[in-house]
Amino acid sequence: MKRRDFIKGAGAGAVLAGAAATPLVQAAPQFKWKMVTTWPKNFPGMGTGANHLAKLIEEMSGGRIEVKVYGAGELVPAFEIFDAVSRGTAEMGHGASYYWKGKSEAAQFFAAVPFGMTAQEMNAWLYHGGGMALWEEVYKPFGLIPTAAINTGVQMGGWFNKEINSVADLKGLKMRIPGLGGEVLQRLGGTPVNLPGGEIYQALQSGNIDAVEWVGPYNDLAFGLHKAAKFYYYPGWHEPGTVLECFINEKAFKALPKDLQTIVLTACKAANMDGLSEFTARNNEALHTLVTRHKVQLKKFPDDVLRQLKVTSDVVVAEIAAKDPVSKKVYESFVKFRDQVVAWHDVSERAFLNARAGG
Amino acid sequence: MKRRDFIKGAGAGAVLAGAAATPLVQAAPQFKWKMVTTWPKNFPGMGTGANHLAKLIEEMSGGRIEVKVYGAGELVPAFEIFDAVSRGTAEMGHGASYYWKGKSEAAQFFAAVPFGMTAQEMNAWLYHGGGMALWEEVYKPFGLIPTAAINTGVQMGGWFNKEINSVADLKGLKMRIPGLGGEVLQRLGGTPVNLPGGEIYQALQSGNIDAVEWVGPYNDLAFGLHKAAKFYYYPGWHEPGTVLECFINEKAFKALPKDLQTIVLTACKAANMDGLSEFTARNNEALHTLVTRHKVQLKKFPDDVLRQLKVTSDVVVAEIAAKDPVSKKVYESFVKFRDQVVAWHDVSERAFLNARAGG
């Protein structure tokens, strides 16, 4: 039984002793909000996550807030949602902060950093390590309040038609890999290619590109990428725990009474938990399907390739810090937290996972 | 800035345009609930987590629900909270499900299982792998609705005054280690000892016992255990991602209007996210303090010891399944999900953590 069904079931069968005292439950919405997203409508994990978040806010508010979700391009194009929410065309936006590096370089630290932090570590930094306050500072000039609203967990290294046996094999590699990961590949002699989602499959199958990173087994299986490539490489060094965000127009937020403000922020936090759990469970199932049914060949990047990718990643990420004082401040907080949590997870998460795997 | 302060700040400075339409915000509570806990009042992480959860429910409900938190023994003794909430003496209980194995053996699967699942895996199983529905089935006969409300993450192996160099060193080991972990130790010739919290430190320091597992760096540092033992062993094979719970009296829950039902369940899910994040951040800081300031010696259990602990753990856990049909059903779901998620995390979380650590 899904949690959502459970809630419904419990509500339907309940003796609503308090109902008479809560007339607002049946009232017309006082706040009609729009949520614009960077995802195609109902895109698995991301788009559906945005839908669930909207529904959760509506349910907790007893219908006082209505949140209508728009897929990419329905109200504004995907990469214009930041501006749209900033100017109040919509009250909420659902995307990923690395899309907004043109607004602020520092924004990239709140989505995914090559060899950065896992989902659990990112959430610890955000909620209890000073990260949220920094993110708020970065979005404040745009009149936006950020929240973490989903996490994909560690992504996959990507689909390859060329084997990677050494660092030299990255030279000349044409790969669909955006953002900081693409920058790292370029420094090592590869050619990062940006392609719209709709052209990726064909480019990989035709040999126009050698490799593609997309998300992880859940999304990759749905996309059919296993039919266009020989090898499925791991780990996703470039996106170890990608935070998807829900940002809110500050004026719209402040116009809410306090209980609804807390409801909106708490719904995002619960959605963050739910989204990571969903990705973990669905990736788990999809990988099983890919390996057992589609006979996909899993391959680990060689250790020396990973070491070089890490060295280059650290250089690329440090360069962001040099761009402006806010980026420097965020970088320093991020790296300090990461380096310390690495030491903790070396004796906890990592040590346990290795012990469970047999040594 | 803490999230809580942020919420307060935003509320205080806000133009409450919707306030006139939400008179309930200032109304007297319609539901006065009690939350009884197994923790000493304000116990770091657990007790404070229960306090935060109560506050979150109050804030989201605009004061319609009031939740008063009681420390262990204040209203009922720690290990009587299950019965107290079952019979309606209190509406909520905050504890850990392995305390209730006397009520149902299957309850143990929803807290911590030796060589079981990490926090991220447990949450995936609970929210998107069928785990919650099973937990609901297990608590249903007691008129209780379970929720996951915090996760400690991987715990530590414990504080030892005797070095563990081989499986033979477990023989005769007197260790404070309750539950399934203690049962595993006993099978390997050790003597698990149960001691009340207040007697642990003295027993370890005086040499009456050789070792103690408590929680992790955050709680262990506060407890001063580093002053009573030589070695701090890892990983916590016996508790790889302990779920702390908040269960609710079913009748009290059903008496809530639907919006408040969703608020209560969502608050628990957000608290689960917040609690794991807090434990990760605080353990991180506390380990740093233990190692740099108190010069604590970290030691990893030898690989062959961990392998034997795993073999014995699997036997002990499988025996629970044989006790009754519900336990069998829960065991089968748990083990199936674990085995499959191990395969996924081998190429994601584990592979990334190892790559980041350099090989």
Burial class (CB in 10 A: 0-12, 13-18, 19+), A171: exposed
Query: Which residues of chain B carry a pLDDT beneath 50?
Result: 1-25
- Residue B131's pLDDT is 98
Q: Between the CA of residue A65 and those of A62, A91, A255, B223, what are the distances in Å?
A: 8, 11, 12, 46
Burial class (CB in 10 A: 0-12, 13-18, 19+), B325: exposed
A4: closest CA among A62, A64, A55, A41? A55
Give A141 to chain B, closest Cα distance, Å. 16
CB contact under 8 A, B344 and A255: no
CB contact under 8 A, A261 and B64: no
Element of type H or E holding A192: strand A191-193
> How many residues are listed for chain B in this entry?
359
ipTM score above 0.90: yes
- Residue A160's pLDDT is 98
Tell me: pLDDT of A1 over 90.
no
Residue B28 near chain A (CB below 8 Å): no
Give A163 to chain B, closest Cα distance, Å. 17
In the stretch 76-115 of chain A, residues with CB closer than 8 A to chain B read 115
- Residue A51's pLDDT is 98
**Is B298 in a helix, a strand, or coil?**
strand
Give B326 to chain A, closest Cα distance, Å. 17
Helices B349-356, A349-356: inter-axial angle, 10-degree rounding: 120
Task: Grade residue A29 by pLDDT with cuts at 50, 70 and 90.
Answer: confident
Taking only the tens place, the pLDDT of each residue in A107-129 is 999 999 999 999 999 999 999 99
Using the Cα atoms of residue A226, residue A229, residue A232 and residue A236 in order, give the sign of their dihedral.
negative
Q: Which two tokens stand for residue A147?
A: 């929240």
Cα(B303)–Cα(A114) distance, rounded to whole angstroms?
A: 31
Residue A318 near chain B (CB below 8 Å): no
Do B116 and B334 touch, CB atoms closer than 8 A?
yes
> Which of A115, A259, A283 is opposite residue B60, by nearest beta carbon?
A259
Cα(A172)–Cα(A167) distance, rounded to whole angstroms?
A: 11
A336: closest CA among B216, B349, B202, B288? B288
Do A343 and B287 touch, CB atoms closer than 8 A?
yes
Interacting residues of B103 by C-beta distance below 8 A, sequence separation 6+: B82, B142
CB contact under 8 A, B300 and A351: yes
Cα(B191)–Cα(A163) distance, rounded to whole angstroms?
A: 53
Do B346 and A357 touch, CB atoms closer than 8 A?
yes
Taking only the tens place, the pLDDT of each residue in A181-237 is 999 999 999 999 988 788 999 999 999 999 999 999 999 999 999 999 999 999 999
What end-to-end distance do the CA atoms of chain B give, in Å?
36
Number of C-beta neighbours around residue B77 at 10 A: 12
Number of C-beta neighbours around residue B181 at 10 A: 25
Report all structural domains of chain A as residue ranges with CATH numbers, in order of start: 29-152+242-292+324-359 (3.40.190.170), 154-237+295-323 (3.40.190.10)
Give A137-141's long-range contacts (Cβ < 8 A, gap of 24+). Answer: A137/A326, A138/A104, A138/A106, A138/A107, A138/A110, A138/A326, A138/A330, A139/A107, A139/A247, A140/A250
> Which of B6, B18, B234 is opposite residue A31, by nearest beta carbon?
B18
CB contact under 8 A, B254 and A13: yes
> Which of B118, B270, B291 is opposite residue A270, by nearest beta carbon?
B270
Q: Which two tokens stand for residue B315?
A: 């036997």
**Minimum CA–CA partner of A10 in chain B:** B254
- Single pTM value for the model: 0.93
Tell me: pLDDT of A174 over 90.
yes
Do B154 and A349 touch, CB atoms closer than 8 A?
yes
> Which of A129, A259, A273 is opposite residue B273, by nearest beta carbon?
A273
Task: Grade residue A16 by pLDDT with cuts at 50, 70 and 90.
Answer: very low
**Candidates A61, A276, A348, A354, partner chain B, best to mutate (most B CBs within 10 A):** A348
**Is A316 in a helix, a strand, or coil?**
helix
Give A16 to chain B, closest Cα distance, Å. 5
Taking only the tens place, the pLDDT of each residue in A267-324 is 999 999 999 999 999 999 999 999 999 999 999 999 999 999 999 999 999 999 999 9
Give the residue ranges of DSSP H helices in chain B.
Answer: 3-12, 46-60, 81-86, 119-128, 131-139, 179-187, 197-206, 217-223, 250-254, 258-292, 303-321, 325-347, 349-356
Give A60 to chain B, closest Cα distance, Å. 5
Cα(B90)–Cα(B83) distance, rounded to whole angstroms?
A: 9
Q: Between the CA of residue A37 and those of A78, A121, A243, A339, B43, what are the distances in Å?
A: 6, 25, 15, 33, 41
Q: Which two tokens stand for residue A202?
A: 């064909």
Taking only the tens place, the pLDDT of each residue in A137-150 is 999 999 999 999 99
B151: closest CA among B177, B179, B126, B122? B122
Helices A3-12, B258-292: inter-axial angle, 10-degree rounding: 140
* Residue contacts between A and B (CB atoms, under 8 Å): 360
Tell me: pLDDT of A3 over 50.
no
Do B13 and B242 touch, CB atoms closer than 8 A?
no
Cα(B150)–Cα(B119) distance, rounded to whole angstroms?
A: 9
Chain A CB contacts of B266 under 8 Å are: 56, 60, 266-267, 270
Cα(B318)–Cα(B116) distance, rounded to whole angstroms?
A: 12
Give the residue ranges of DSSP H helices in A256-359.
Answer: 258-292, 303-321, 325-347, 349-356
Chain B CB contacts of A278 under 8 Å are: 124, 127-128
Do B296 and B226 touch, CB atoms closer than 8 A?
yes
Number of C-beta neighbours around residue A6 at 10 A: 16
A275: closest CA among A96, A73, A8, A91? A96
CB contact under 8 A, B22 and A14: no
CB contact under 8 A, B127 and A281: yes
Residue A323 near chain B (CB below 8 Å): no
- Residue A332's pLDDT is 98
Interacting residues of A193 by C-beta distance below 8 A, sequence separation 6+: A174, A175, A176, A177, A203, A209
